[in-house]
Structure 1
């Protein structure tokens, strides 16, 4: 079940809200259990075979956390090592077993048979969430919680599939508050959800038609095609993931629960360190607090720790050498950034820094998206003119204005006649120059009296801008009518 599907929008979500509202009134203690139950159903809807896996993971980690909190300090470490080994073994089996077998075959010429392993949806997110909880139990930073609250913390359906990576100290106090629906939270939540839905349906999905053919094996794009395809994927991923993050935050806000921000205009970053403080913010926080700092952080071996953290962060995204190289590239970027800062004392001017950062990130996205390193190298080679230059039909009369060697045989992989190219231009303007979702909603407060007044203001009206209700309603309808093909979120595979 996808957030951008009719079944979710018109069946699952209304049913969940109705049940939550009813229980909050008549049996408040059951409302949290209701959210946990429907979250488990949401996960099981994908593949019911993996629901026992999620439940076993929750029960196991909850049990270990209890033993750890009750144990003396000397024994806590043993419990932590045991639990970490079990969690990483589970993740390694499902996500990396065939990657390991394939690598051994490639290096040794062996012919080991790959295992028939289907990757459970969201396993990286619920594993990392629980690892952070266990480490905090070991450090004495987490207390005991009721099983129903812990189950909801891990399986909470807005975040379960593609994040954000939750932290117990942010979520548990909210789950323990008295349940209930609030008109202001409903207004804010629905508005943010519609913005995220529009990012996914109206921007990210059309861009896939530009990126897909260019990144196909043996496509051998030329200069213009390679640049358009690379830019299309960069902004497809941006608005796909940003859209999911907004939708998750908006859905959670319907229940009065605030998820942590996960996106903060990363393409407006002035350097690569700032980019990682803005992109997938909760994963960056996890890698910093539970990997980079334990490795030594800035105290000793700073550059080594940066490289190891980013290599493992790349491997977290997927079981493939492309992801490892992508993580290594960002590790090199960060080492160069901090090394330059240590030598020069400051970076380039912000405008130049933004351009340099974006093009560095763009080059790394090519490696990230390509099906293999050979294809990635071919596209990067094409982006510097190595595969020649092809221009659209109809420009032959202006041949004298173009460099020698340009071909006018036409562009093979890019369709200029559809909505994808206008969507790409709009996406670039929004990502580089427009305020992001949290900046927009920071300036508006919902008017409760107006929300409870006329029916026309019931969902998305904002004081004093009464046209917001109409604007968001029209945006939602545009999304619904554009959902002719339901597409998965890109981060589902990570």
Structure 2
């Protein structure tokens, strides 16, 4: 069920909120049970048959975590082996659904065979709930888990605001919140902030992202089909996708965080204005923060991090980013995208160390501006591989981007290029110069929690302001478009 659908906004969400707070009068256990059932219903809306898969995954991982805990206490030398089996089985399930068809295709290509396997549909959110539960198993092994309630664990995995496309939540960020009585009581501040954040998110998706898609989709479709693309179309199409992906995924995250607030739950930030970054290192501290954290804590550090010398550090960075690319999807383009970002990070760390050795002066404004431009260019180049369906399509885009045509600067047939230029420019200005959703939320919360604030304003102020954007966004919803990260 899409957050930007009328069924969700006008039916599921109001019924879920009312039911949750009414049933919470019977106790926390009843409220959590209701929310688990509602979240499973939310997930089953897409395909009921995959409901069995997520339930099996939840039961297995909770039971295996308890097994790891027991082995850790009684037969400690075997604990790591037990953890390895649990992680391997999770990855095996993920690999079967996500990579089987791709691997068979590559085998046929290499061995000149014709093995056939029917197309395996990718279960919604399998990458997200698999990684979240792998982290839970690892933390159990590290003796960092103090929560043993199966019911709360079910909500930790299935909580519908973050189930489909994150954020990838750490158990320490979420499970303790279910132990507070305040979580199960309606709170005016949570409603004010939640509605505001949800409205910002839906506005980003419907008004910004979906309008940018109008210029990105024709270019990449044409490139994948081998059609001719002009210089301007290639650059505007790539710019449009760069902005579409940002506003689509950050919009989804805003909506997820806002929805969670309505239920008294605070999810971690996932975006911090990544297109304001002045380096690739800074970019990955701001883009998809919870995935970056997972890759760092459970892959990069596990490989040795920077503890085994500079060369090994660079190898670990590359391996982490390539595997991060593969996590996004089965295809050479995702591997190339990961390889590019691994290369960017290695160059970034090398340049930082080299500059510190030979240049003592701090970074000036001109140098900072150059770093920003170079970072944006590097990110855009990598996004071409991320978006194109085929490697040939990506290189078609690059060929067109290199075919400079100054005689007819706005030449193009796929869309109205002047309109695309204006819209992309406006969206880039918003992404770079406007405060992000987290900054706005923290500002509003700080103002609303001041003792002098009128309680009526606390209850109705932000909610009424956000309602304007909410009504505009809902009114503009026409043909529904999925969030881009649903594909991963």
Q: Would you call these one fold, judging by a TM-score over 0.5? A: yes
| Structure 2 residue 282 is matched with structure 1 residue 274 | yes
Q: Report the Cα offset of residue 143 of structure 1.
A: 2.5
Q: Report the Cα offset of residue 417 of structure 1.
A: 7.8
Q: Report the Cα offset of residue 381 of structure 1.
A: 1.7
| Structure 2 residue 170 is matched with structure 1 residue 172 | no
Matches within 5 A, 1:353-392: 353-385=371-403, 389=405
Paired position in structure 2 for 1:52: 52
| Structure 2 residue 259 is matched with structure 1 residue 251 | yes
Matches within 5 A, 1:244-393: 244-300=252-308, 301-345=312-356, 349-385=367-403, 389=405
Equivalent residues of 1:91, 1:123 under 8 A apart: yes
Aligned alpha-carbon RMSD (Å)? 1.9
Paired position in structure 1 for 2:145: 142
Equivalent residues of 2:205, 2:248 under 8 A apart: yes
> Residue 188 of structure 1: SS of its match in structure 2?
helix
Which of 477, 481, 486 is 1:483 aligned to?
A: 477
Rounded Cα–Cα distance in structure 2 between residues aligned with 1:314 and 1:78: 27
97-106 vs 239-248, greater mean Cα deviation = 97-106
Paired position in structure 2 for 1:397: none
Rounded Cα–Cα distance in structure 2 between residues aligned with 1:473 and 1:139: 45
**TM-score (normalizing by structure 1):** 0.91
Q: Report the Cα offset of residue 443 of structure 1.
A: 1.7
Which protein is richer in helix relative to its size? 2
Matches within 5 A, 1:217-232: 217=224, 218-232=226-240
**Quick one: structure 1 residues 154 and 409, their matched pair in 2 at CA, closer, same or farther if it must change by over 3 Å?**
closer
Q: Report the Cα offset of residue 209 of structure 1.
A: 0.9
Q: Report the Cα offset of residue 451 of structure 1.
A: 7.8
Rounded Cα–Cα distance in structure 2 between residues aligned with 1:185 and 1:409: 48
> Residue 331 of structure 1: SS of its match in structure 2?
helix
Paired position in structure 2 for 1:473: 467
Rounded Cα–Cα distance in structure 2 between residues aligned with 1:29 and 1:112: 50
Rounded Cα–Cα distance in structure 2 between residues aligned with 1:108 and 1:23: 60
Q: Which runs of 5+ in 1 are unaligned?
A: 390-402, 463-468
| Structure 2 residue 423 is matched with structure 1 residue 415 | no
Deviations 1:193-218 (A, max 9, x none): 00000000000001111001110122
Matches within 5 A, 1:389-468: 389=405, 403=406, 406=407, 410-416=411-417, 422-444=422-444, 445-446=447-448, 453=456, 460-462=460-462
**Quick one: structure 1 residues 409 and 21, their matched pair in 2 at CA, closer, same or farther if it must change by over 3 Å?**
closer
Deviations 1:249-288 (A, max 9, x none): 0000001110000000000011000000000000000000
Which contiguous aligned blocks of 4+ residues in structure 1 show a shift greater than 6 angstroms?
447-451
**Quick one: structure 1 residues 408 and 427, their matched pair in 2 at CA, closer, same or farther if it must change by over 3 Å?**
closer
**Quick one: structure 1 residues 195 and 154, their matched pair in 2 at CA, closer, same or farther if it must change by over 3 Å?**
same
How many residues end up aligned between the 2 structures? 467
283-292 vs 443-452, greater mean Cα deviation = 443-452
**TM-score (normalizing by structure 2):** 0.92
Higher relative contact order (CA 8 A, sep 6+): 2
Q: Report the Cα offset of residue 43 of structure 1.
A: 0.6
Paired position in structure 2 for 1:66: 66
421-430 vs 325-334, greater mean Cα deviation = 421-430
Rounded Cα–Cα distance in structure 2 between residues aligned with 1:452 and 1:23: 26
Paired position in structure 1 for 2:216: 211
Rounded Cα–Cα distance in structure 2 between residues aligned with 1:435 and 1:80: 42
Rounded Cα–Cα distance in structure 2 between residues aligned with 1:319 and 1:363: 20
Rounded Cα–Cα distance in structure 2 between residues aligned with 1:321 and 1:374: 11
| Structure 2 residue 22 is matched with structure 1 residue 14 | no
